Structure 1
Amino acid sequence: MHREQVVRLWGRTFSYGTAHNDPALGIDKKLAVADGLFFVALAQGSVIGTVLAGYDGHRGWLYSVAVDPGHRSRGVGTALVRHAERALTDRGCMKINLQIAPGNESVAAFYEALGYGVEPRVSMGKRIVANIPGGGA
């Protein structure tokens, strides 16, 4: 895998402020699951995009959809999302969700063009920092 390139891409693409979103830790945890749902796009051997998908038997999720700024508006993100959707569908998934972080709402038009829409839901979360190195209080 092209681990360091993915870490750099995510560092340029996403803003991180919490230990559970550390790029290296996220890669380690996803690879440990070994579900075959971590996809990268390459151009001339370099990572230009990523998507992680998850499926729990009930619902699929898309995470870490990232495209290098120099390769945007060329279909890379669409190809990654469609690839992840096919992989989830092949596993029996009937619904896929994703979340957009505050401050990144401009990406909503991209997802809407792919058929995603805002649903009337309240997203709740709970950080479990005890199991995360450096997670602290």
Structure 2
Amino acid sequence: MEVVVRHAEQSDLKAIGELLSHPDVTRNTSQIPYRSQSYWDNMFDINDKNHIQLIAHSGNEVVGHLGLIINQNPRRKHCASFGITVRHNAQGKGVGKQLMTTMVDLADNWLNLTRIELDVYTDNHHAITLYERFGFEVEGESRFDTFQDGKLVNSFRMSRISPDYKSELSHPLPSRIKDQNLTIRNFDIADTESVLNLWQQCNLTVPQNNPKKDIKRKVAINDGLFLVGLINGEIVASVMGGYEGHRGWVNYLAVCPQWQRNGFGRELMADLEKRLIAMDCPKINLQVRTSNQQVIAFYHSLGYKTDRVTSLGKRLID
């Protein structure tokens, strides 16, 4: 996607309001649905010199917005906070990366900012991965921070310290990415209990399915598409792929909660896709509950698209 980043203008406020009002975007902000356009008009003061507002547009469409707010407390003028949103149908296409690149350049080379901070929901994996690529680190977790989708959820406080000052930190944060490599191999029957425990941690088991029987059936096929990921010999991830000669399928993709947001899910999917390509599989299908928006966003970031089909099923064994 060809994207141009520039400062927002008064004429962009309607498009920014529409962007922020989409349900897939609203859920990852502190806003509530059904805001009026006048609300967005009053929220953004285009002429505020301490609130730098960038938009990304592709053609005539606004596909992203980033607001950088410079702190006006005399003792915190070296700090700023920001918020970023990307249009729901433009996520995973480099829009956020371009907005972040522009912001970091402003912060380091023009605004002399030492610290940039933000809050992000702990389940917003795609955003967290983006921020970490630009040097942001998790400083702490706020429990029951926000009411979202009918439940209380946690958020991370993240910050980025200017490279010119990182050497002066007396107590650098331990890396949230554990500097560990994921080892991927085929599932072995001895892995059963570890994998079942992993699935339970990730809430993948449901009453209508018997996971032990699912494993038994898969092992009987022995197609080399049931994979596990290990850290220091411990199973922390899994994926159960399939191929019946027409379409590939993905089930039970799981990463242990404490190891999430480290790219391990992407690694497993990449390995599975390579194996399916070797089998001359033309396309992969998968099913995600419509309520599980963060998982849908994850697959979108891998290049998967929502097919215009109706999913049908018939249970043969209770």
TM over 0.5: yes
By how many angstroms is 1:105 displaced? 2.7
Structure 2: gaps spanning 5 or more residues = 1-187
1:115 matched to 2:303? The reply is yes
By how many angstroms is 1:77 displaced? 0.2
SS in structure 1 of the partner of residue 236 of structure 2: strand
- Specify which structure has the higher proportion of strand: 2
Retained in 2: the 8 A contact 1:52–1:65?
yes
1:7 maps to 196
By how many angstroms is 1:15 displaced? 4.0
TM-score (norm 2): 0.39
Separation (CA, whole Å) in 2 of partners of 1:48 and 1:114: 20
Counterparts of residues 120-131 of structure 1 (less than 5 Å): 120-129=308-317
Retained in 1: the 8 A contact 2:237–2:265?
yes
The amino acid that maps onto 1:17 is: P
By how many angstroms is 1:23 displaced? 1.6
Separation (CA, whole Å) in 2 of partners of 1:103 and 1:22: 22
Separation (CA, whole Å) in 1 of partners of 2:291 and 2:211: 19
1:66 matched to 2:266? The reply is no
By how many angstroms is 1:22 displaced? 1.6
Separation (CA, whole Å) in 1 of partners of 2:298 and 2:211: 23
Retained in 1: the 8 A contact 2:228–2:235?
yes
Retained in 1: the 8 A contact 2:247–2:284?
yes
Separation (CA, whole Å) in 1 of partners of 2:301 and 2:252: 18
Separation (CA, whole Å) in 2 of partners of 1:7 and 1:86: 25
Retained in 1: the 8 A contact 2:205–2:211?
no
Retained in 2: the 8 A contact 1:11–1:23?
no
1:99 matched to 2:283? The reply is no
TM-score (norm 1): 0.89
Structure 1: gaps spanning 5 or more residues = 130-134
By how many angstroms is 1:102 displaced? 4.4
| Match of residue 50, structure 1, among 238, 256, 267 | 238
By how many angstroms is 1:64 displaced? 0.7
Separation (CA, whole Å) in 2 of partners of 1:119 and 1:110: 16
Cα shift readout 1:11-51 (whole Å, capped 9, x = no counterpart): 12114121xx2221111110011111100000111111101
Cα shift readout 1:62-112 (whole Å, capped 9, x = no counterpart): 111011001111011000011111100000001111110244232111101
1:34 matched to 2:218? The reply is no
Higher relative contact order (CA 8 A, sep 6+): 1
Rg bigger for which structure? 2
Separation (CA, whole Å) in 2 of partners of 1:96 and 1:108: 15
2:270 maps to 82
Separation (CA, whole Å) in 2 of partners of 1:24 and 1:46: 20
1:132 maps to none
CA RMSD of aligned residues (A): 1.1
Separation (CA, whole Å) in 2 of partners of 1:73 and 1:22: 28
**Alignment coverage as a number of residue pairs:** 128
Matched-pair identity in %: 39
1:16 maps to 206
